[in-house]
Amino acid sequence: MHRLDRVMEMLLLLRDGRIVPASELAARFAVSTRTVYRDLDMLSGLGVPIASEMGRSGGVRLGDGYFLPPIALGPEEAVSLLLGLILMRRLRVMPFPKEAGTAERKLLAALPERTRDAVSHASRSIGFERVPADLLHPERGDPQTGEGPPVNVESDVVGSFLRAMLSHSRVSLAYSSPYRDGESARELEPLGLVWDRDRWYLAGRPSGETGRPRMYRADRVASMGPGRAMPPVRSDFNASELLDRVWLRDAMDGWREESPVIIVMTPEQAALLEKDWFYGNALFERLPDGRVRMTYGEFRLDSASALLRWLGPGAELLEPAAWRSPIADGLREMAKVHERGRAESAPSGVGHPDAGYDAGRSDGLNGAEGLSARGDAGDERDERRERAEDGSLGGLEP
């Protein structure tokens, strides 16, 4: 890194007002502390006020009242900012939608003409797909299926929460969950936001509480208004501590205690679920017989039944015992439909005991013939997928 670039990066790093030890700056830029002090002297010579703090927690910081003027952006830097705006526009709920549009126009207007043309072309050349609906984990009032509030209402909720964070004031909200009767009112200290699976989660601490913040889905906030002002205390909250769904693990521990569901399955089935964003937070235990026991919290029979059907043979629900009978009834009904359909659609000599058909098979194929046919079909699917990805299909085909 050139010295001028390093000095500029150092200035940007000091903008947040915190005290930074010279050793931290040296490690950040892979230089000696002596070089750091020379760079700081260069900033001072350019009129940037650098203040020093002595002691064990000492270091350097920008002097009070210093304002960093607008900085010229290179093409790659401008594209990076524009990509953030493009990506945000593809979210189901976008905070500050009008302001994002004006921010993009201001960004483009501040660029040199040559850079502006290149960045404008990049905005037309790069696209982001929306997050698809999560059909494996159906929920009541799911906004991804169009059951939640209008997008503009949810956008206002997220925007109001962000404004409260910036102004350091509390919010009062009415929260409505499809799993509880009525609305509950509460006042929160807004701490942060987490975006997960195309939903916004509000991280806040109810007034009078301490400890880990609580999470509230923005689409379940019925109304939000201003709360009381808070003293200007510097918060040590960091949203990264809630990532990797730490909040979900805590919730699932509680659900597992309230309404445990136990399913035994094959190691291959367990390996799939351990990668899932939701079921991956369940408790998995290897059994002496080689199977895996999964314990998680579930209050709805239909959700557990759907999971078992998705897993297929090899999975068995053990608890709650009362759910076994209705699940078995549903599977028998499903089997009847498929048996009836197979008998009606099978050509002459296929699927008939006299033709050497194994009644235990559901695909009409036996032994090596069945494996070969399924393998050929799988190869054909893989080939078609590759052709679709590289564009050689020329569009959708039946």
Q: What percent of the chain has pLDDT over 70?
A: 78
The larger pLDDT score, comparing residue 342 to residue 159, is at: 159
Write the CA distances from 63 to 21, 52, 319, 387, integer angstroms.
15, 9, 64, 60
Cis peptide bond prior to 206, omega within 30° of 0: no
pLDDT band with cut points at 50, 70 and 90 for residue 307: very high
User: Which stretch of 256-270, 288-302, 375-389 has the lowest confidence by average pLDDT?
Assistant: 375-389
Q: For residue 159, which amino acid is it?
A: G
Q: Does residue 130 surpass a pLDDT of 60?
A: yes
Residue pair 267/292 in contact by the 8 Å Cβ criterion: yes
Q: What is the pLDDT of residue 273?
A: 94
Q: Which two tokens stand for residue 381?
A: 């699917």
Nearest Cα to 278, choosing from 297, 257, 259, 305? 297
Q: Which residues touch 234 (CB under 8 Å, ≥6 apart)?
A: none
* DSSP for residue 227: E
Q: Does residue 263 surpass a pLDDT of 90?
A: yes
The radius of gyration computed from the CA coordinates of the chain, to the nearest angstrom, equals 29
For 174-209, write each residue's pLDDT tens digit. Answer: 898 777 777 888 888 899 888 888 888 999 888 877
Q: Which two tokens stand for residue 20?
A: 């930074």
Q: Does residue 373 surpass a pLDDT of 60?
A: no
* DSSP for residue 137: S
Residue pair 230/189 in contact by the 8 Å Cβ criterion: yes
pLDDT band with cut points at 50, 70 and 90 for residue 308: very high
Q: Sign (positive/negative) of CA torsion 324, 325, 330, 335?
A: positive
Q: What is the pTM of this model?
A: 0.62
User: Which stretch of 39-48, 155-164, 379-388 has the lowest confidence by average pLDDT?
Assistant: 379-388
Instruction: Output 73-81 pairs: Cβ under 8 A, ≥24 positions apart.
Output: 73/107, 73/110, 73/111, 73/115, 74/115, 75/115, 75/118, 75/119, 78/107, 78/111, 78/115, 78/119, 79/118, 79/119, 79/122, 81/107
